[in-house]
Structure 1
């Protein structure tokens, strides 16, 4: 047999006048709308104002029943030799890393240095911000936040069969990066 518990006393909510409560709710809704618009505007601004570069990548695991059709992309600049690290101390996991990229003759970009702080660029060089995922004796694994790309179902099957792809990335001056195009004709 169970014994009934006594009621738990609760503190009464402050009684705000109705116009003030309505005004507070309006401000809350407006803040949420502005946040969503700001995120969308940042994405469009990254594409419109950013420097566009091509990166080599390979598709991996193109389908997930829960999330639909997408490509997991493994970039050539995702694993770099440890000799490219230019910091005063050895890199550590989850540390920010700025990858200095230089154009290659085939119009793709390759890593020429990895820095703990944003380096200066010259000519057609670009900087991509990422984070250190793993450190081992002779190399680093980096993540850029560009490793997943959603595609139509018919396209994901054809892209998965490819061994190599080129991905166009737009790099905004403030550091944000966004995939703008996948080149299916790359070899």
Structure 2
């Protein structure tokens, strides 16, 4: 049998491990928001409501539908995608938004230049790699939670004028949403913690 003292010590150690793990996750996200390279992506409206989770908007991006012809390293004879990471190189356009210029399965062969940024996503298996088709990578930045009651109004506004999301990119290409933008105006900014 375990003595009472050992049980208390075990419970304390377990609690410290859990707190440490949660702190590590939060600190990692905050580090990206604080130190990551900022890019602005144009968003497209999608259904904003979930009765169980509250008000949020689901975000679609131009880079969420990539033409297969942008992928520079498709292996000869490969006709469908595997579960694999994809690196998408972004560059700012004349409109102020960042756009995909090229992509690679796995890793980029060269680092991004000073006026470029790489975002890493995940491609599900089974996408056709025909040069005339598109694939849909997931970047982990597809939801933005809003104050209660504001989701539908913003969703309707997104249909009539341009909105964007300012994201922060870590050196490894991991993305975090930093702010929701209505044109040049910051509507909501994510807190670090």
Task: Give the TM-score normalised by the residue count of structure 1.
Answer: 0.85
Is the aligned partner of 1:144 residue 2:139?
Answer: yes
| TM-fit CA distance, 1:77 | 0.6
Is the aligned partner of 1:35 residue 2:21?
Answer: yes
Find the residue that maps to 1:174 and give its secondary structure: coil
| TM-fit CA distance, 1:141 | 1.2
Structure of greater Rg = 1
Mapped to 1, the partners of 2:66 and 2:93 lie a distance apart of 16
- The correspondence for 1:126, drawn from 117, 124, 129, is 117
Mapped to 1, the partners of 2:5 and 2:65 lie a distance apart of 58
Mapped to 2, the partners of 1:154 and 1:148 lie a distance apart of 16
Contact 2:84–2:106 at 8 Å: present in 1 too? no
In structure 1, the gaps of 5 or more residues are 1-14
Mapped to 1, the partners of 2:148 and 2:2 lie a distance apart of 52
| TM-fit CA distance, 1:93 | 4.2
| TM-fit CA distance, 1:52 | 0.5
Equivalent residues in 2 for 1:53-72 (5 A)?
53-72=39-58
In structure 2, the gaps of 5 or more residues are 185-193
| TM-fit CA distance, 1:48 | 0.5
CA RMSD of aligned residues (A): 1.7
Task: Give the TM-score normalised by the residue count of structure 2.
Answer: 0.82
Mapped to 2, the partners of 1:185 and 1:159 lie a distance apart of 13
Q: Number of residues paired by the alignment?
A: 172
Aligned to 1:106: 95
Give the 3 Å change call, closer, same or farther, for CA 103–31 of structure 1 in structure 2.
Answer: same
